[in-house]
Amino acid sequence: MSAIMDILLRLLAWLVLAPLVPGVINKVKAWVACRQGPPVLQLYYDLARLWRKGVVVSTLASPGFVIAPAVAWVAVVGAALLLPLAGAGTPVSFDGDVLLLIYLLALARFCTAWGAMETGSAFEGMGAAREVSYAVLAEVGIITAVLTLVVQSGSISLSSMFAPLPGPSAALLAVGLFIILLAENCRVPFDDPNTHLELTMIHEVMVLDHSGPPLAMILHGASIKLMLFAALLAQTVLPLAELPLAASVAVLALAVLLTAVAVGLVESLTARLAFRRVPLLLTIGFLFCLFPLLLTWMGDI
């Protein structure tokens, strides 16, 4: 019974808190640009409004156009539920759950690409192609980071995988995961969630033709994914499990907040990357994950 309560609580926390992260990022960006910016809760208002709206669907689209965002949203939420939080662990934990997490994100990606291709738009097709191609590099980076954790902890379950890494490895891995976070969550320098009319778009272009409740699911799912990556990054490099529960939850929250601020700063201070450089930066992200893996492997020898 308590396990079910635990899951429901986590679900509620993810659903309710996640839209804050983009709000914080936008606030930081506004602050750097000396603007007032939208309120931190803006995404909540947007979601509420979108949920009540009707839908415009392309004449070419099948029912899959509506189903795909729903499936993607469930997949992202499922992935978030697998992630243990701070010292509290997770009620759903088994060997190899980390792979389920990665593949749930892949399921979400498949559905988003599917939804994009439904419209027959060249622009969205381009986005889908870029998404699935760059995801190869991102996924390779993520699995390398996971390998580092596996080697360090000797465990293949998320709940016991986040063993503290030695300083240099942790720092390298943090940079690598941060780059992957930016790429996977359509942030500058890879992509820009605020514009819709640029030929360097990746993720954002795939949702151009969505509207109403499906768009709400996409936006909400994106915020959950962002928070998921931030939490993953924080737990990978911070020894949270060693702190008492309350402290570790507080540190985790602070770390997610700091990640959001960092994303906002990066978005304010850098320009979007020339398109042909995207694979290069992703490869650099992968290398930042690979070196800690080698360091960790060699550590004991």
Partner 1 sequence: MISALLGTAALALVLACALGARPRLWLALNSLGALAGLGSAATVLTGGRGWALRSALTLGGENVFLTLDALSALFLTLVCLVGGLGALYASEYWPDEHFPRSAPRGRSWWSALVLSMGLVLTCANGLHFLFAWEAFALSAYFLITLDRERSEVRRAGWLYLAASHAGTMALFAFFSALAAGVGTWDLGPLRDRPDLAPLFWLALVGFGVKAGMFPLHIWLPSAHAGAPSHVSAIMSAVAVKMGVYGIVRFSGWLPVPDDAGWAVLGIGCASALMGIVFAMAQNDIKRLLAYCTVENVGIILIGLGLALLAAAHGHPAWGHVALAGSLLHVFNHCLFKTLLFFGAGSVLHATGTRDMSRLGGLWRTMPWTAALFAVGAAAVSGLPPLNGFVSEWAIYQGLLKAVAQKGETFGVLPAVIVLAGTGALALGAFAKASAIVFLGAPRGKTSGHAAEFGFAMRAAMVVPAAIMLCVGLMPGYFFNMVQACIAAWTPQWAPAAPPIPVRAIGGAHTALACALAAAAIIALRKVRAGGIRRGPTWDCGYAAPSAHMQYTGGSFAGIVTGWFRWALRPERRIRRVRGYFPESALALERVPETVLEKGIEPAARTVMLLADAARSLQHGRLHLYILYVFLGVTALGMLVFQGGM
**Which of 19, 22, 23, 69: binder of partner 1 (CB under 8 A)?**
69
Least Å from the CB of residue 155 to partner 1: 7
Rounded to 5 degrees, what angle do the CA atoms 149, 151, 154 make?
95
Q: Is 150 in the site for partner 1 (CB under 8 A)?
A: yes
Q: Is 191 in the site for partner 1 (CB under 8 A)?
A: no
**Which of 113, 173, 177, 240: binder of partner 1 (CB under 8 A)?**
113
Q: Is 206 in the site for partner 1 (CB under 8 A)?
A: no
> What tokens does 95 get?
């060997």
Cis peptide leading into 193, omega within 30 of 0? no
Sign of CA dihedral 264, 213, 13, 97: negative
| Encoded amino acid at 164, one letter | P
Least Å from the CB of residue 209 to partner 1: 5
Q: Is residue 112 a contact partner of residue 130, using CB atoms and an 8 Å limit?
A: no
**Which of 30, 147, 170, 273: binder of partner 1 (CB under 8 A)?**
147
**Which of 133, 242, 254, 277: binder of partner 1 (CB under 8 A)?**
133
**Which of 88, 208, 261, 287: binder of partner 1 (CB under 8 A)?**
208
Least Å from the CB of residue 108 to partner 1: 10
Q: Which residue lies nearer to partner 1 by CB, 151 or 266? A: 151
The helix (H) or strand (E) run that includes residue 185 is: none
**Which of 4, 167, 271, 300: binder of partner 1 (CB under 8 A)?**
300
Q: Is residue 7 a contact partner of residue 91, using CB atoms and an 8 Å limit?
A: yes
**Which of 39, 96, 166, 168: binder of partner 1 (CB under 8 A)?**
96
Other Cβ atoms within 10 Å of 238 Cβ, number:
21
Q: Which residue lies nearer to partner 1 by CB, 30 or 74? A: 74
**Which of 140, 170, 265, 273: binder of partner 1 (CB under 8 A)?**
140
Residue ranges in 213-232 that form contacts with partner 1 under rule CB under 8 A: 213-214, 217
119 vs 56: CA distance, rounded Å: 12
Residue ranges in 237-296 that form contacts with partner 1 under rule CB under 8 A: 279, 293
- Ramachandran region of residue 219, left (φ > 0), alpha (ψ -120 to 50) or beta? alpha
DSSP string spanning 243-285? S-HHHHHHHHHHHHHHHHHHHHHHHHHSPPPPGGGHHHHHHHH
Least Å from the CB of residue 27 to partner 1: 29
